[in-house]
A and B are shown apart, each in its own frame.
Chain A
Amino acid sequence: MLAYLLGRLAAGAVAIALLTVVVHALLAATAGDPLVALLGPTVRQLPLEQQARLRAEAGLDRPWARQAADHLAGVLRGDLGTSRRSGRPVTAELRDRLPATAALALAALPLALALGLAVGTATAAAARSWLDTLLSGLLLVGTAVPAYWTGLLLVLAFSLTLGWLPSSGGGGARHLLLPALTLGLAAAAPLARITRSSLLDALAEPHVVAARARGLSGAQVLWRHGLRNAWVPILTVAGLDLGRMLGGAVFVEAVFAWPGVGLLMVDAIAARDAPLVQGVVLVGAATVLALSLIVDLAYLRLDPRVRYR
């Protein structure tokens, strides 16, 4: 068990290190002259010797592999470099923005789980009825609606027409409600679909049919035999979903000007701030890795058949 966990962590660390080097190489190879990015286009007017000296001072004259290795070593020490846009450490920029994104995700997740599980269970319990057909159709469309459009529709309805909630900006719970609803709705649709299909699979098992024959009520069967056996696939999708949600958060933050990491990423790209871009990618990958570990550990509790060696 412990060996399995350590193995997973080691593999994850290797993957993240490799990702760091690949993204670094990509940005270094294509993002234009890093000295210009660092000091502005006027640097080109300086004498060549002075340009070379500045280049050496910034460590830009090192061979490419050396720069990538130094960057990786910095990451291991917790030093993600300096943002070119603000001149502040990337870690400080991330620390400023992470709480907003975390609040958004933590508010959206229970919403997605509650809605996804409720609608999924309802459609499975009423399988092949008109309610199932109606809700399943809605879910299909719901999975297809892009989060940025949902966001605009919600703003139009709740901010501009009804005037109940602010349409953009960071702040307290009132500002968080619409972005969290947008993100939660986007994550709920796939969750509901997997809940429906894994519940239907679980309810078709012979022991469930036997339980029904013994006279258990529909609700008892659903709870004791259905959901309990459907948790594993649901959890897998929830874990994957959260990873995708991190991507979707970029759109939601952009619609609502919610000052999180996603908006930071968009600004960093517009400003060609390579160190900041790398920092956000690292945070994203580390979060996905952590989530998949948590999901693996949760399997142990939910399904006694699962063993890790």
Chain B
Amino acid sequence: MTAPISARRRGRRLHPSGATGAALLVALLLASLLAPWLAPRAPTEIDLQRRLAPPSAAEPLGTDELGRSTLARVLYGGRASLLVAVAAVLAAALGGATLGALAGAAPGRLDAALMRLVDALLICPPLLLALAIIGALGPGLWHAAIALALVELPVFARLTRSVVIVTRDLPFVEAAVASGAGRARVLARHVLPAAVGALTVQASLTAGFVVTALAGISFLGLGVQPPTPDWGDMLARARTHLLTAPWLMLAPGAAVTAAVLGCNLLGDALRDALGSPAARG
């Protein structure tokens, strides 16, 4: 259960580690957005003269089996691996909040039916369910993002519902109802804002899993399709050249780790500052 965030707790300062996490994420996002200016050349440019070249001044991270620049591919890869993950988390949070608000505000039977559905989806390991959805939609980066959004949606639905149920009986909500505000207005203006803090915390904690899973799905060959650069796909390709070109797997793996670390640091600090959301399940 989640208690609504009181004004006192809301004022608490963010732990410095949270700022570190946020800085890490901003740096990674900026690097992927500014890739055209930072990269030595285009990420898809093939140069068979320079296949599997070790790191050098011209190519700080070396080149892959097609002579493509690893630095360029890591920078551009952030777009697929990071921006798409952010989109998936936002979709899960918005969809889940809507569903949870409906369930919390709806009469008992609809609420119960929706929550049974949420329970059923939460019982399956999230990655396995995401893979099953990809099995239905077919491989692809956006299909993977949709799958991960659908898998995480129940967590947000449950969280929002618990906040709505606690908040809807509080005096200020009763006052709003008594003064003649409609149901939808009361829900949107008075009840849902109480869930924003918990949703933000959950979103940043979920983001870490989504980044790992999204790159992982590409690593399995079920996500991004070539030649689009992606961290997971780069790791899968690096696997065949581990001994001859070990540098190929260092940068993309470090990039995933840094992104997940950023999400976790930010999420932990937000949770301490804003209060803890209900645990999964």
Measured in the bound complex, the distance between the Cα atoms of B127 and A153 in whole Å is: 22
Measured in the bound complex, the distance between the Cα atoms of B124 and A247 in whole Å is: 9
* B135 x A272 contact (CB < 8 A): yes
* B125 x A246 contact (CB < 8 A): yes
B96 in contact (CB, < 8 A): no
Task: Indicate the size class of the contact surface on chain A.
Answer: 35 or more
What residues on A are CB-neighbors of B281 within 8 Å?
Answer: 240
Shortest Cβ distance from residue A45 to the other chain B in the assembled complex, whole angstroms: 23
B121 in contact (CB, < 8 A): yes
B215 in contact (CB, < 8 A): yes
* B261 x A144 contact (CB < 8 A): yes
B128, B216, B264, B265: which has the most chain A beta carbons within 10 Å? B128
Within 8 A of A (CB), among B234-273: 235, 238-239, 242-243, 246, 249, 253, 256-258, 260-261, 264-265
B212, B221, B265: which has the most chain A beta carbons within 10 Å? B212
Write the chain B residue with the least CB distance to A282.
B124
Shortest Cβ distance from residue B268 to the other chain A in the assembled complex, whole angstroms: 9
Task: Indicate the size class of the contact surface on chain B.
Answer: 35 or more
* B242 x A156 contact (CB < 8 A): yes
* A265 x B128 contact (CB < 8 A): yes
B170 in contact (CB, < 8 A): no
* B215 x A146 contact (CB < 8 A): yes
A119 in contact (CB, < 8 A): no
Of the candidate stretches B27-35, B36-44, B97-105, B112-120, the one touching chain A is B112-120
* A152 x B239 contact (CB < 8 A): yes
Interface string of A1-44 (1 = CB under 8 A from B): 00000000001101110110011001101110000000000000
A117 in contact (CB, < 8 A): no
What residues on B are CB-neighbors of A284 within 8 Å?
Answer: 124-125, 128-129
* B135 x A148 contact (CB < 8 A): no
Measured in the bound complex, the distance between the Cα atoms of B19 and A111 in whole Å is: 33
Measured in the bound complex, the distance between the Cα atoms of B124 and A14 in whole Å is: 13
Q: Quick one: which of B119, B125, B238 contacts A244, CB cutoff 8 A?
A: B125
* A277 x B132 contact (CB < 8 A): yes
* B131 x A19 contact (CB < 8 A): no
Measured in the bound complex, the distance between the Cα atoms of B203 and A22 in whole Å is: 25
A149 in contact (CB, < 8 A): yes
A280 in contact (CB, < 8 A): yes
Q: Quick one: which of A29, A146, A246, A266 contacts B136, CB cutoff 8 A?
A: A29
Shortest Cβ distance from residue A260 to the other chain B in the assembled complex, whole angstroms: 13
* B216 x A15 contact (CB < 8 A): no
* B136 x A18 contact (CB < 8 A): no
Residues in chain B within 8 A of chain A (CB atoms): 116-117, 119-121, 123-129, 131-139, 208, 212, 215-216, 219-222, 232, 235, 238-239, 242-243, 246, 249, 253, 256-258, 260-261, 264-265, 280-281
**14 A-B residue pairs with CB within 8 Å:** A14-B120, A18-B116, A18-B117, A26-B132, A29-B136, A152-B239, A240-B281, A244-B127, A250-B220, A251-B219, A255-B239, A266-B131, A269-B132, A272-B135
Counting from the closest, the 7 A-B pairs by CB-CB distance are A247-B127, A149-B253, A18-B120, A144-B261, A144-B260, A269-B135, A247-B125
